[in-house]
Amino acid sequence: MRGLTFRRQIVLGIVLIIVGNLLAFTFHKGIFSNIMWILYGLLFILNPVYPEQSDCKKGKKGARIAGVICIAVGLLTRFIV
């Protein structure tokens, strides 16, 4: 299996958020959306990919900061269905 590139990880994140929202609407439990945001953030923290144009050190740091922001969205927002 090939590694995750920046583009693939973004697409995977979008799919995670969509699946989380679909599960939340289907089961009337907003926690599914929050869990998917947390998983998306963890994906960027554990595998910090960045666009090819950015610097290696700054790109990894920016990806991890974006992961922390996604986790904060998952923990701080209340998704009510």
For the chain, domain boundaries: 9-76
Q: What is the pTM of this model?
A: 0.84
CA distance 10 to 16: 10
pLDDT score, position 52 = 80
pLDDT in tens, 21-55: 999 999 999 899 999 999 999 999 998 888 888 77
pLDDT in tens, 50-71: 888 877 778 889 889 999 999 9
pLDDT score, position 1 = 41
Q: Exposure string (b/e) for 17-37, b if CB count within 10 Å is 16 or more?
A: beebbebbeeeeebebbbbbb
